[in-house]
Structure 1
Amino acid sequence: MDLNTYLLGLYRATHELAPDQFVKFAFNHTGDLLSFDSARLMAVEVIGSKGQVHAAMTHNEPDSLHLDWEAISKQDTVLRAVTAAPGKAFNFNARYLYAEPEQLVVRDYATRYSHENGLVIAALNPVTGYWDGLSLYRARSADQFSKDEQTLLELIAPHLRQAVTQAMQHHGEVAEPSDAMAIIGANGVLKYCSPAFVDLVRVEFPDWRDHSVPAPIVAALSQTGVQSFGGAKVKVNVHRHGSLLFVRAANSCPLARLSTQELKVARMFSAGYSYKEVAQKLNLAPATVRNVIQRVYAKLDICGKAELATLVSHATIKAR
């Protein structure tokens, strides 16, 4: 298969396949062009000299891989190499790369997961601030990647990342930067998550580290017929798409959806003030107040002052 055929097939599949089917197809399709035994697409946050995995899509890799890699990431030469040269593929043989005694722990990791040869490339995602990395591995030490394959990966990696995003967008599954959304496997392991999802879930679970969603959420969503998890501070809704769960988190208090101005106007209006009185007190035009109230109704999915008063009153009671 030539490069043009590969790209046409890749982008065509973004419209034809569901997201979970597309990821499997993309790895297999790439393997027809550039052979490998296992692979992973990861979103990694680099903190100091260590890496933290925020999301991953894998091919022939166990779920334990990500936690084990994080434990040795500070010593992993590959992480430093690909972040120092974005868009350039790093080609390595583990036996030679990790030959020094102080690198034994990384060498053991590579042996355990059959990463005897690797071809790795990364690019900084300007939206998330994470490094989007693509890693291909071969299990036999003698089966090294060539320089031509290194160049080929540099050509296809941006297209593969774009195609994955496009496939999710086509099915309405990719979050905006401010959208608290994640894609998880049935066992709770994260396949994708937005930074906003991380921030919001940590409101409910402050000590959570995002390799898999917190156990109480997994337990709730795994029950037959259950479509949401309701915590004290955060609510998580889910819908299933094949083997994947697409979840979105939101603040349990509906008023959290409002801006500071909208909240001030809503509280005064629900307390009995007229449009004109609210406008005078907040130094706004009456027409502006009327428009703000309409936005508040739309955001809260309500249609009148009585419903607004009930929501504001309920939120005030909970806050006490």
Structure 2
Amino acid sequence: MLKTLTDCGDVVLNINTSAFEADAEVFQEQVLNQIDQVIGFDRAWWGIMSPTAAGFTLLSSYQANLPDSYVEKWQTCTGDDRLAMSVNDAPTRTVRFGTQELHSTEGLYEINADVGNKYALCTAYRLPGRDDDFLFLSLFRCGRSAAFDKSDVWAKQFLMPHVNLAWRHNLSRRQDHYAGAADASTVMSCVFVDLQFAVLDPPPRFRELVRSVWPHWCGPTLPEPLIQGLLNVPRGSAVRFARLGFTLKPAGGLSLLSISAVSALDSLTPRESQVAAAFACGQSYKEIARSLGLSPATVRHYLREIYAKLGLTDKVELANLVHHAPGRAEP
């Protein structure tokens, strides 16, 4: 329980410190640890939902002490989720459910009784620019714990505006961090993406880059060709469109999509890349042949193929391309 102004200030300070210091992958865990110290809960569900005619669509999900089966079962009965309906109807207001309310529909009973949830506190906030979608944080207590009381409702009501803003600041800061990381020479922009491939708070540079490939894109959902490309490669692998590479990686309950510059050199085979790099550095046919265990005639053949693929005509153009390729520092 928050007993004094000092308690309030300490918790808010710690939440905001996490916003500026924690990686997106651990931010939610750290914030929940802070909330647990003043409210106390057994399980938590933090994510993003969007209302539909039949119930709700889950756009992001982070579970604390909840199995994946909880979310899987929830997705089969979203129309029964009166807790989600309540916070959707009254955003920013903390809703308290006792056992009777939390088990009041067949769907709610099935997903909560199965894991022992008997009491809940939930608060939702609309997402900027996506007024139908909302960020939610549900805290649960099981049967061995006391029910949430009015002081718990007050504490969560007090903390949630800070949690909401800290979450948004963390995402924004992590976007800036990834763009300025060690591979900043190739990463041109980053953005966080939900489970339906919709972007959150895309920076202007991200919009500019996506529209350079798909001029009519307005968002928030990514262009369909890009979605299909990302689905067809392993997570963490780049999919290429024009001279841009798009890479999707897990980041907490969301994913981080980065856009990198792609060089024409990426069209070369590994052996062609070796020959191109050596020739661009001034090695002769014979020197390249000797270092790679090839004949001079084979090196000449590779160079002809390299020039054809890259649309080049001489060694100077090749050297300029190699030495100024994305990810390579200029000499």
Q: What residue in structure 1 maps to residue 239 of structure 2?
A: 229
Which sits farther off after the overlay, 23-32 or 57-66? 57-66
Q: Alignment partner for residue 116 of structure 1, among 100, 118, 129? A: 118
Structure 2 distance, partners of 1:198, 1:139, is 38
**Cα gap change, 1:239 to 1:137, in 2 (>3 Å):** closer
Q: Alignment partner for residue 23 of structure 2, among 8, 18, 21? A: 18
Matches within 5 A, 1:117-196: 117-129=119-131, 130-140=133-143, 143-172=146-175, 181-182=191-192, 193-194=199-200
Structure 2 distance, partners of 1:120, 1:52, is 17
Q: What residue in structure 1 maps to residue 212 of structure 2?
A: none
1:248 and 2:258 are equivalent in the alignment? yes
Q: What residue in structure 2 maps to residue 256 of structure 1?
A: none
Which sits farther off after the overlay, 56-65 or 155-164? 56-65
**Cα gap change, 1:201 to 1:139, in 2 (>3 Å):** farther
- Given that 2:98 and 2:119 are in contact with CA atoms closer than 8 Å, whether structure 1 keeps it comes out as yes
Other structure's SS at 1:116 match: strand
Structure 2 distance, partners of 1:244, 1:45, is 15
Between the two proteins, the alignment pairs up a number of residues equal to 232
**Offset of 1:59 from its aligned partner?**
1.8
Letter in 2 for 1:160: V
Structure 1 distance, partners of 2:79, 2:15, is 34
**Offset of 1:109 from its aligned partner?**
0.9
1:55 and 2:60 are equivalent in the alignment? yes
Which sits farther off after the overlay, 134-143 or 165-174? 165-174
Q: What residue in structure 1 maps to residue 9 of structure 2?
A: 4
Structure 2 distance, partners of 1:96, 1:199, is 35
- Given that 1:181 and 1:193 are in contact with CA atoms closer than 8 Å, whether structure 2 keeps it comes out as yes
Which sits farther off after the overlay, 240-249 or 86-95? 240-249
Structure 2 distance, partners of 1:157, 1:243, is 18
**Offset of 1:113 from its aligned partner?**
3.2
- In structure 2, runs of 5+ residues without a counterpart are 179-188, 203-218, 263-331
Matches within 5 A, 1:194-213: 194=200, 199-200=221-222, 202-204=224-226
Matches within 5 A, 1:251-290: none
Structure 2 distance, partners of 1:30, 1:96, is 23
Instruction: Mark the structure with the bigger radius of gyration.
Output: 2
Letter in 1 for 2:113: T
Equivalent pairs: percent with the same residue?
A: 15
Structure 1 distance, partners of 2:48, 2:161, is 14
Structure 2 distance, partners of 1:183, 1:125, is 13
1:91 and 2:113 are equivalent in the alignment? no
**Cα gap change, 1:42 to 1:93, in 2 (>3 Å):** same
**Offset of 1:61 from its aligned partner?**
2.3
- In structure 1, runs of 5+ residues without a counterpart are 253-320
**Offset of 1:157 from its aligned partner?**
0.8
TM-score by length of 2: 0.58
Q: What residue in structure 2 maps to residue 78 of structure 1?
A: 83
TM-score by length of 1: 0.60
**Cα gap change, 1:114 to 1:195, in 2 (>3 Å):** farther
Q: What residue in structure 2 maps to residue 301 of structure 1?
A: none
**Offset of 1:202 from its aligned partner?**
3.5
Structure 2 distance, partners of 1:173, 1:190, is 23
Letter in 1 for 2:169: Q
- Given that 1:173 and 1:246 are in contact with CA atoms closer than 8 Å, whether structure 2 keeps it comes out as no
- Given that 2:190 and 2:256 are in contact with CA atoms closer than 8 Å, whether structure 1 keeps it comes out as no
RMSD in angstroms over aligned alpha carbons? 4.0
1:106 and 2:108 are equivalent in the alignment? yes
